[in-house]
């Protein structure tokens, strides 16, 4: 099964999240067989990252977006567990600083785009500027409404310069979010992960769904596709995300560079 085909938002599609089942697993079932498949996929991802680092002709940018408690941190922790820190960087996008606000909204994003040979992972991203900014009214419609086209242009620029872009929307239900919030409230080791703003955003669930639907509809392109990942089941989320990353890297036809000198003439003493 090619997850990238099943879960991609086709360019020009008008997304209705109600049509995407957050509990979906495409017939996969939790168990030892699934665990072995996921482990094999993540091991393959580790090999491909090493090849990407050696080849240095492409970069991979992974964008993770979701409602609060949607699994962005968990995806990074589990899917990227085998990657070498040498060629992988995670950037968490928080509210912009005064310096960042003094520039255009993509200024801070471009600065952390991965270089060729590297994998960059965005925990939240430039899409916050058409999500929370829109829902919370942090900018007028005249400002955020033009950002969809600006984002598409920005991502096209990256793609034309060797950056493969994978954008994952981790799709959970409102009931699943409630369960995860309750778990954080009850578990002292997880209470730090729940902010007051998370509870406030939950009150705007419907508005966020509409904002996500427009972002997914308008900004899934051939150069930078969106994938809607059913994420109520964490084990399926990990398999789907890692599989799509592997499929993407394999399509790059990565190669180890040729030696810089003739190894046949080496005589070790």
What digits encode the pLDDT tens for the residues 193-220?
Answer: 999 999 999 999 999 999 999 999 999 9
Fold of 3-9+24-253: Rossmann fold (3.40.50)
Parallel/antiparallel/unpaired status of strands 226-230 and 88-92? unpaired
Three-class SS of the chain: CCHHHHHECCCCCCCCHHHCCCCCCCCCCCCHHHHHHHHHHHHHHHHHHHHHHHHCCCEEEEEEECCCCCCHHHHHHHHCCCCCHHHEEEEECCCCCHHHHCCCCCHHHHCCCCCCCCEEEEECCHHHHHCHHHHCCCCCHHHHCCHHHHHHHHHHHHHHCCEEEEEEEEECCHHHHHHHHHHHHHCCCCHHHCCHHHHHHHCCHHHHHHHHHHHHHHCCCCCCCEEEEECCCHHHHHHHHHHHHHHHHHHCCCCCCCCCCCHHHCCCC
- Residues 182 and 176: their CA atoms lie apart, in Å, by 10
Whether 59 shows a pLDDT value over 80: the answer reads yes
Mean pLDDT, the chain, as a whole number? 95
> What pTM was estimated for this model as a whole?
0.96
Among 113, 224, 222, 93, smallest CA distance to 165 is for 224
Residue found by looking up tokens 């990256």 in the block: 158
pLDDT for 125: 98
pLDDT for 123: 97
Band (263; pLDDT cuts 50, 70, 90): confident
What digits encode the pLDDT tens for the residues 168-183?
Answer: 999 999 999 999 999 9
What digits encode the pLDDT tens for the residues 121-163?
Answer: 999 999 999 999 999 999 999 999 999 999 999 999 999 999 9
Tokens standing for residue 161: 């310069």
Among 164, 158, 153, smallest CA distance to 219 is for 153
Tokens standing for residue 88: 């992988």
Band (261; pLDDT cuts 50, 70, 90): confident
Among 248, 254, 260, smallest CA distance to 2 is for 248
């Amino acid at each position: 099964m090619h997850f990238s085909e099943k879960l991609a938002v086709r360019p020009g599609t008008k997304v209705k999240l109600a049509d995407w089942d957050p509990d979906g697993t495409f017939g996969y079932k939790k168990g030892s067989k699934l665990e072995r498949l996921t482990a094999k996929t993540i091991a393959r991802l580790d090999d491909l990252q090493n090849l990407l680092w050696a080849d240095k002709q492409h970069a991979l940018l992974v964008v993770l977006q979701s409602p609060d408690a949607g699994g962005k941190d968990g995806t990074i922790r589990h899917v990227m567990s085998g990657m070498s820190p040498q060629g992988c960087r995670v950037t968490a996008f928080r509210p912009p600083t005064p310096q960042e606000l003094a520039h255009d909204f993509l200024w801070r994003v471009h600065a952390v785009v991965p270089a060729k040979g590297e994998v960059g992972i965005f925990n939240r991203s430039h899409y916050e500027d058409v999500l929370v900014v829109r829902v919370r009214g942090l900018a007028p419609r005249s400002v955020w409404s033009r950002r969809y086209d600006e984002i598409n242009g920005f991502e096209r620029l990256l793609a034309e310069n060797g950056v493969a872009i994978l954008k994952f929307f981790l799709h959970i239900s409102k009931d699943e979010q409630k369960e995860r919030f309750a778990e954080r409230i009850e578990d002292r080791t997880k209470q730090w992960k729940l902010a007051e703003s998370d509870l406030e955003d939950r009150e705007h669930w419907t508005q966020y769904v509409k904002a996500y639907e427009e972002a997914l509809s308008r900004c899934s392109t051939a150069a930078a596709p969106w994938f809607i990942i059913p994420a109520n089941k964490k084990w399926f989320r990990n398999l789907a995300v890692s599989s799509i990353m592997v499929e993407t890297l394999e399509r790059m036809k990565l190669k180890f560079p040729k030696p810089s000198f003739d190894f046949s003439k080496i005589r070790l003493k």
